[in-house]
Structure 1
């Protein structure tokens, strides 16, 4: 349950790792079998259940072939400007009254921008 108490930091480190390594949240969801909304909760540090959180984090580190405590202290690769989140509002918004279509479009836009960032790096 140690990581549950550090979930804000773990979420930030996981998001940084995903962006640096080029993984999308949708890809992580498919790799782990964890739903996209739950992935968002993990990244935001807002998982309500400690036991479930630890289990889901285990699935994530296993899928990425990393040690269980990797995101506790991840300092990893430095992000370049092109790797910084560009649609942060779509993932970190506290407004929960978005229509499902709006949320889906924002998620798709975030995925497209993540992919496009790799081409901008050149």
Structure 2
């Protein structure tokens, strides 16, 4: 199961890191290709216009990352390393939300971790 922890917290957003326990899917000749943070509830902040423009709805993706078979992000600097490692995903997410870390493996498995409130 993936787990999330707050790395740093600001007044409007928190930096969240999602990791996997060891051994992970690599030990079964699989790898994590997607990691995302899924929202758990409505945003309690009401906006002045009464519209849903600034609302966050349950089950929406707050942040996501895609990974190569060696564990490095698809977006970012190219790596020449042949060694494989489980990916670590870091993202900034709005404070006050509760999010679930979710991972998807190349073999089609999905795991959801415990929620974390930012």
The structure, 1 or 2, with the larger RCO (C-alpha pairs under 8 Å, 6+ apart) is: 2
TM-score, length-normalised on structure 2? 0.27
TM-score, length-normalised on structure 1? 0.26
Which has more strand, going by share of residues? Answer: 2
Which has more helix, going by share of residues? Answer: 1
Q: Highest CA radius of gyration, 1 or 2?
A: 2
